[in-house]
Amino acid sequence: MMQNEGPKRFDRVVSILIQLQSKRIIKAQELAERFEVSLRTIYRDIKTLEASGVPIYSEAGIGYSLMDGYRMPPVMFTQEEAASFVAAEKLVQKFTDKVMQRDFASAMYKLKALLRTNDKDLVSNIESQVVMQPMQKKFNENVPNALSTLFESIARKTQVHFWYEAINALKPTERIIEPVGVFHQDNFWYIIAYCHLRKDYRQFRTDRIQRISQTDKRFTQKHQSLDYYLQSKEQRPTRKVKIEVHHTVAKYLKGERSYYGFIEEELIDDKVTMTFEVQDLENGFARWFMMFGDHAKILEPESLKARIQELLELNVKNLKE
C-alpha cells in the first residue's frame, strides 16, 4: 500500500492542478469527492502544489483558484482518454444541433493535435467503427442553433425569443423564456425555463422549436438549480398500475417501460406482472398499453380499463367513417 501511494499521489496532485485550470473556483469538498479522498488529503495536496511554485489563491468558505495568467504546459492524454474522444464526438454528431456539432468538431481538431502519433492512429482506427443511431429527430432541421443558443443564454443569463409548437396547438406561439437548464430524457432534449407568456416555469422540447434567437435582455427572475425543478416534476401525483404481460412480449418492453414509471416485475408461470407509478395515465400510459394490449391484461386500476375501452371505441368509430 505504501509503495503505491507515491505514484497515486503524484497523479492526484497533477489532476488537481488540471481541475484548478478547468474552473474559476473549485471547493475542497468537490476535489475530495472527485478523487475519493479526505479533505485533509486535499489540503495536503494543495500545499504541495503551492510549495512547487503554483500560485493558488484560497478563501475560506469560497474555494481555490489559480492566479490570473498562470497556465501549465499542454497535458498528454492516455490511450483510454483518447479513445473516449471518439465516443464523445459521435454522440455530439448525432445528439446535438448543427452549430454545436461544428464547434465541437473544431475543438476535436485541437485536441487531436495534442495526441502522440500512436494515439492519433488509435483514434483514426476507432472512428470509422463507431456508429450512433438516434431513434428520434432531436431538433428542427430549420433551427440549426437551438441547443447552442440555449447554452449561451444559460451562461450569459439572457432571455431567449422563440416560436414554439406545442403538441396540442394548431400553430406555433411566440415565447420569451429564461432558460434554467437543458436535459436529455426519453430520446429527446428538453428545456426547463421561466415563460413570460405563462408567468410560470414550463418544459419545452427542442424538436418543437420553430425559430429561436438570443436577446440582450437580462433575466428578471432568480432561478433555482435545474435539479430543483426536475425533482418538483418527479413529485407530481402518480397512480399505481399493475399489468400482466405474456413473457414472450414482456422482454420487448424493457427498453420503454422506464419511461412510464416502471417499478418492479414478477414472473409467474409464463406471465410477467409489472408494477408502475404513472403520472399520465389517460394518455401516455393508456396509449402505450394499446401497442401490446392483445398480449396483456390490466390488473389495476379499473379506470385504466375504462380509458382503453374509450380509446378503442374511438378507433372503431374513426375506421367506419
Q: Would you give per-residue pLDDT tens digits along the chain (321 residues)? A: 334 455 677 778 878 887 887 778 889 998 998 888 999 999 999 998 888 888 888 877 788 988 877 766 666 677 788 888 888 888 888 788 888 888 888 888 777 777 777 887 888 888 778 877 766 667 777 888 888 899 999 999 999 999 999 877 788 999 999 999 999 877 788 999 999 999 999 999 988 999 999 999 999 989 998 888 888 666 667 889 999 999 999 988 987 888 788 999 999 889 999 999 888 888 889 999 999 999 999 999 999 999 999 999 999 988 887
pLDDT of residue 174: 95
Written in H, E and C, the secondary structure of the chain is CHHHHHHHHHHHHHHHHHHHHHCCCECHHHHHHHHCCCHHHHHHHHHHHHHCCCCEEEECCCEEEECCCCCCCCCCCCHHHHHHHHHHHHHHHHHCCHHHHHHHHHHHHHHHHCCCHHHHHHHHHHHCCCCCCCCCCCCCCCCCCHHHHHHHHHHHCEEEEEEECCCCCCCCEEEEEEEEEEEEECCEEEEEEEECCCCEEEEEEHHHEEEEEEEEEECCCCCCCHHHHHHHHHCCCCEEEEEEEEHHHHHHHCCCHHHHCEEEEEEECCEEEEEEEECCHHHHHHHHHCCCHHHEEEEECHHHHHHHHHHHHHHHHHHHC
- Per-residue burial over 285-315, b if 16 or more Cβ lie within 10 Å, else e, is bbebbeebbeebebeeeeebeebbeebeeee
The conformational region for residue 54 under phi > 0 = left, psi -120 to 50 = alpha, else beta, is beta
In Å, how far from its chain's centre is CA 307? 33
pLDDT of residue 280: 85
pLDDT of residue 135: 62
pLDDT of residue 156: 92
pLDDT of residue 52: 82
Q: Report pTM.
A: 0.55
